[in-house]
Amino acid sequence: MQHGKRGPAFYFLGAFFVLFVLFLYGPTLTILVLSFQGPTGGLTFPMVGVSTYWFTNLFERQMVGDFAGSFQRSMILGVLSMLVTVAASFAAGLAFRARFRGSAVIFYLAIASLIVPSILISLGIGLLFRVLGWDPTWYTSAFGAHLTWTLPFGLLIMFAVFNRFDRRYEEAARDLGATSWQTIRHVVIPILLPSLIGVGLFGFTLSYDEFARSLYTAGTFNTLPLEIYGMTTNVTTPVLYALGTVTTGVSFLVIGVALGAVILVQRRRARHGSDAGKAA
């Protein structure tokens, strides 16, 4: 299987893989094309000319709902989720290397947070705020709801990362007289930087795209996915696709920046050796 000539199985599976990738990306590419539909064009092919009409439409008029506001809220929420997810998962990852009472409980809570259906968490937080007489808002209840989705991913990634982390680097740092904080700041963080960027990517994108957990927690002001969902029921022009293209564009930009940063860190390492400890 690993050696010699490619058999028919390879070509069959290869074709299957190509079809799967087409299946994954095809629809998104379709709306990318259709978002450049001419001003008189409709929701499906044929294209009636090519224009950026629907994009200007998206940014100009307020008739399509509060795109700018919801976009801004989702960006802020995404960045907040990213920062908290990276910090809290990294700290918890450090903690889980030691044995402590309650570690199993917290681990199972993280798993539960992943497998309890999103809509139940949304419903629960919404009910909780209602019972307490608080108003749900996107930066309190929805923020917490998003963290219950991003943190388990962050924690599990940190587990995997620390399982492969060589503790001798830390011992070496300690032997050289570094304090615990210096060891973390100048040894552990630089070595784990690519993984931390990965956790950040999860934190941002999972929050930015989250729908179900925002549903009963966002309160008066919609986040972007809620706004888009609202639009699907009453907007029947390609402006919907323009919105899809812009949102997906933002996601790709974030993914691109994260992957680029990881590659950059690894290149630097290949050139200089590990830069752990070199930072002033």
**Footprint on residues 126-185 left by another protein (CB under 8 A):** 126-128, 130-131, 144-145, 147-148, 151, 155-156, 159-160, 163, 180
The answer to whether 110 and 96 are in contact (CB under 8 A) is no
Q: Is 270 in the site for another protein (CB under 8 A)?
A: no
Nearer to another protein, 232 or 274 (CB): 232
Nearest to 147 by CA among 211, 82, 91, 195: 82
Looking at residues 100 to 119 of the shown chain, list those that interact with another protein (rule: CB under 8 A).
Answer: 100, 102-103, 106-107, 109-119
Q: Which residue bears the tokens 């968490």?
A: 121
H helix runs in the chain, sequence order: 8-34, 53-60, 67-95, 103-115, 118-132, 141-163, 168-175, 180-183, 189-208, 212-215, 224-234, 239-272
Looking at residues 180 to 239 of the shown chain, list those that interact with another protein (rule: CB under 8 A).
Answer: 180, 201-202, 205-206, 208-209, 211-212, 215-216, 224-225, 228-229, 232
Q: Is 48 in the site for another protein (CB under 8 A)?
A: no
Nearer to another protein, 45 or 59 (CB): 45
The answer to whether 145 and 229 are in contact (CB under 8 A) is no
Number of residues that bind another protein (CB under 8 A): 96
Nearer to another protein, 46 or 273 (CB): 46
SS3 state at 87: helix
The answer to whether 245 and 88 are in contact (CB under 8 A) is no
Among 24, 63, 270, 280, binds another protein (CB under 8 A): 24
